[in-house]
Chain A
Amino acid sequence: MKKLFLVVLLIAITFNSLKADDFTDAMLKAKKNLQTATNTYDEKALVKVRGEFERILQLKKQEWIVYYYIAFIDYSIASSAMGEKPDNDKLKKYTESGLNNLEKSILIRDDFSDSYVLRYALNFNRWVYEQDKMADIIAQSEEAKGKAEKLDPENPRFYLMDGMATFYMPEAFGGGAEKSTPLFEKSVELFNKRVEKESYYPEWGKDLAYGFLALSYAKRDDDGDKKKANETLETAIKEFPDSSFLKEYVKKQLESK
């Protein structure tokens, strides 16, 4: 009887694994497509891959990581709405959707540091269309920031986001390139030794950390930093040859200085 029980258990595990593998395969495929879409900052590709993740929810309805990725894509599309042709309606639509999807993710799993990093980032976007909710935005951002750091003090994306917030904040209010530089340096350092626990966990951000580090170096009033900026960009492009952020945005910014 014991043997029978073991065999039934084995069968159950086999079938569950089959389903889990379907999920993992779908996740890895979608994650790869996401990487391509974010590398090229192709909004249409981002919308398409968003649909892929939404469909994965048909396999596992309560999967926190899927909601996380949908929220991340919402964040990416929202960020593109702040580009050369600002589109406030789109920014708000995707930021609100991102926060909503993140909420679903956190409700299922509340100890994933990257979820709070993303919440921290999404709350930045609210400044553009909800200046009148200053107190709430500050409270939400600070709470998310605190939780992200507490849950994983070695999370490179936390330092990346903190660096970006500092970089864009005027020096008069405690921001500026001087203060953001060590945060981006720390982020790159942590990315270099980071190994994610699962193959489908997020890995985004290293090209951004490199890029913003280069921009921070360039913005500081020190001639030596321009050289550092170019060297950093060179290293980054070698590692991320397809990154349009590095090749098109950061490079142009450095050339214009």
Chain B
Amino acid sequence: MNRFKPFGMVILLLLFSAFTYAQDSVKSSPAIVKGFVKIKEGKFIEGANVVIEGTIDGATSDDKGFYEFETEETGDRVIICTALDFGEKKINVKIESGETLILDINLSKTDFKTDEISVTASSFTSGDNSKVTLTPLEITRIPGANADLYRAITTFPGSNQVDEGSRIAVRGGDPSEVLTILDGASLYNPFVFSDDYNTSSFSTVNPWGMRGINFSSGGFPARFGNVLSAVLDLQTYDVPQTSGLFAIVGLANASLSGVYSKGGKFGATFTAGTFFIKPYLKLNGIDQDYNPTPTTSNLGGTITYKTSTTGLLKVYANYSYDNVGVRNASPTYDGYYTGESKNFFTNVKYSFAPTAVSLLSTSVSYSIYNRKESYGVLNDVSDNVYSKVRSDFSMPISQAFDFGAGLEYEYNGYKVDGTFPIYSYNLSTTAPSFKLNENKNNGRVGSYVETKYKPSANFLLVAGLRNDYYTLSSKAVFDPRLSVVYRISENSFIKGATGIYHQNPALQYFVQGNTTSIEPEQAIHYILGYEYNRENDYILRIESYYKDYSNLISFDPYNYLTASIGSGTAKGVDVFLKVRLKPKFNGWISYAYTDSKRKQYDAANLTPADYDITHSVSVVSTYNVTDRLTVGASYKISTGKPFTPVSGSMFDPINNVYIPIYAYRNSERFPTYQRVDLNAQYIFALFNRFAVAFFALNNLFNTSNLYQYNYNFDYSNRIDVNSSNKRIIYFGMGLQL
């Protein structure tokens, strides 16, 4: 009997298995399932897949939305319907043997498979997100932007150029309230000629080297700390996949860039460039008196190495140098303002995935900005050193929740050595002056937690909290931030954001006030807006904002030392309309209304902020005449910026100068600013290589825009000093080597 025991069990097992298999799949005489697949509005869907869950029994709908199939799977079943562009819909049905089940399936908007919401308040994004607003190609094609990322951003609402250069003032704030982040590191002063008299600044960031560009003019999340107004968040490319060289020679500059790739694991890039202005000045008839003539040079590059499937080590370094001397006649000194700066920045970033869904990245950065300036009695050298270590961790907790957290420590050292005028109005070489040799440093420990909550495809909430502790002032701040986006329809969104933002004033104010008790400046942002965005081809954004400032730097009226007693508000509306008619036309109009008032610096009351530009309009258009030729035109018009006029003067017989008497801070405005720019690009082959020729005609109508007012010796005569950006012709060529 024992011999048969196993066989008995085998038969039992077979029977059991067969029974289970039969249970799993009740089969009887065939039934028919048929019907139509349509969207609620009645339009039939072709190519929808209808299938009984767990089987291959099903059909694909035809061009009339009709489907029909035969099945032996009867009983309570689940029918799954999927269609491209739509999500999955499950329907419980009872299929009876030999019967016909008529099942019409309606796919509604709620079944619509939507892209993850990537629209957030006040941000313009390029790169990974699907809702792209600005691309590197667009940046290079914007007339008047000179392929400069920062200048391109000023064609969007809410941001204005400073002195027609690359520095940006956002929503009436100061340019120092805009922070550039590169691969997690803070990139301070990424410009050449940044503060030089009537010489426009240029950025040192190459837009083509950026994988992602995100510019947020307010309401940004908790991961960004120590910044009051706006963030430009840049991510460089990972491992390059090609090798090659590209050279550009223009009327005033030449550059060589290269990229190298080995086995998809190792890559390197470099860019070297220099600037020579004489041919440019001669051709354009610019009679600006320079000594020395402006020069710049820069050298930078990246090295990337893939350490594992998810591990990536990235090193970025850039060095830039500029030098310029510009003739300026002030009431007390007629001579050259000279400025020279050297700027070095490096960042090492390592990122990897500790688990299949999480990401940890750590970066260490160092930068030093050395600057010399002289004008009359003013003669000084300053060094700004920044160093930062930062770690960011992110992971999804569930389908609806993402979690992120980070920690950073930043060191900032400021050293100044030189001679400064005692009275800002008297700059002659013999004017009363004082020597200053000081240094200050500050440490900042920052941390944040952030959660992204997506309860449905139509709703996104980002909530975060950050904390920063400033070692110099021993102050700690807590910044809660919240951003909400609700999708009204496939392409329309309502969005809002609010939050508290802090930024430590520049260390020079601690030096000037000889104090450590200056508090971080504070702004509270409130933003509410609407956006329609169809595949980045049609975009309409209307956004209103209100900002409440406190602890701004102001001079104490009793001792005239710097103190955190300033305040202010900014309110306004930004409108942006973009149309892209592929493949020929791309253009946008942006309008910004700003009302920004501050009690800051020497203002006794609330007065217009330095960059309070009431109305500002930009119109940009590019047209592809052929596949090879693109032309563009842009027009900018804006209210003149505020300035503080001189309302009288008094003679100082001891120093033999007139003392200006100023009216209220920013109580007058420059004339309206306007400018029209044109450009063209032509792609062709030269020596069997890719080549591009470019031509630009800036300030077509040679409009005289005011740079500043100068005064004669006794301030009785106000003299216009116009911007050096007159009508300018520029051309050049790029060649793949």
A residues adjacent to B (C-beta < 8 A): 3-4, 7-8, 11, 15, 22, 26, 44, 47-48, 50-52, 54-56, 58-59, 88, 93-94, 97, 129, 131-136, 138-140, 142-143, 146-147, 170-174
Contacts and interface: CB of A to CB of B under 8 A. Distances in A.
Contacts of B685: 170, 172-173
B605 to A, nearest CB: 48
A190 B341 CA distance: 61
Contacts of A140: 241
A37 to B, nearest CB: 12
A51 B47 contact: yes
Contact of A146 (B46, B241, B688, B689): B241
B394 interface: no
Contact of B9 (A4, A50, A54, A58): A4
Interface in B1-45: 6, 9-10, 13-14, 17, 21
Nearest to A145: B241
B582 A55 contact: no
A26 B583 CA distance: 42
B56 interface: yes
B135 interface: yes
Contacts of A94: 84
Interface stretch (B58-66, B167-175, B221-229, B563-571): B58-66
Contact of A55 (B17, B49, B84, B136): B49
B242 A131 contact: no
B49 A7 contact: no
Contact of A51 (B6, B60, B242, B690): B60
A50 B208 CA distance: 39
11 contacts: A7-B10, A7-B13, A11-B13, A50-B60, A51-B47, A55-B56, A58-B53, A129-B582, A135-B208, A139-B242, A172-B688
Interface residues of B, number: 46
Contacts of A147: 264
Contacts of A48: 60
B463 to A, nearest CB: 30
Given A55-B57, A88-B582, 5 more contacts: A3-B6, A50-B60, A58-B51, A94-B84, A172-B685
B433 interface: no
B654 interface: no
Contact of A44 (B62, B85, B208): B62
Interface in B71-90: 80, 82, 84-85
Nearest to B242: A142
Given A4-B9, A51-B59, A58-B55, A174 B85 contact: no
Contacts of A142: 241-242
A170 to B, nearest CB: 7
A172 B10 CA distance: 73
A8 B49 contact: no
Given A15-B21, A58-B51, A172-B688, A44 B137 contact: no
B237 A51 contact: no
B714 interface: no
B600 to A, nearest CB: 41
Contacts of B137: 131-132, 134
Given A7-B6, A15-B17, A54 B51 contact: yes
A133 B126 CA distance: 10
B54 interface: yes
Contacts of A88: 582
B84 A58 contact: no
Contacts of B208: 135
A135 B136 contact: yes
Contacts of B63: 44
Contacts of A26: 56
A170 B691 CA distance: 13
A154 B52 CA distance: 40
Nearest to B46: A47
Contacts of A135: 136, 208, 237
A54 B49 contact: yes
A77 B487 CA distance: 31
Interface in B421-477: none
Given A134-B137, A139-B241, A47 B60 contact: yes
B626 to A, nearest CB: 13
A104 to B, nearest CB: 14
Nearest to B135: A132
A97 B113 CA distance: 12
Interface in B375-402: none
B735 to A, nearest CB: 12
A173 B690 contact: yes
Given A4-B6, A139-B241, A146-B264, A55 B58 contact: yes
B240 interface: yes
B10 to A, nearest CB: 5
Contact of A52 (B60, B84, B85, B684): B60
Nearest to A172: B685
B138 interface: yes
Contacts of B14: 11
Nearest to A97: B84
Contacts of B62: 44
B532 to A, nearest CB: 18
A138 B688 contact: no
Contacts of A172: 684-685, 688-690
A97 B6 CA distance: 53
Nearest to A173: B690
- A-B CB proximity, top 9 nearest: A172-B685, A51-B60, A142-B241, A132-B135, A47-B47, A51-B49, A55-B56, A54-B49, A55-B51
A7 B21 CA distance: 18
Nearest to B67: A51
Nearest to B58: A55
B688 A174 contact: yes
B17 A138 contact: no
Nearest to B684: A172
B672 to A, nearest CB: 33
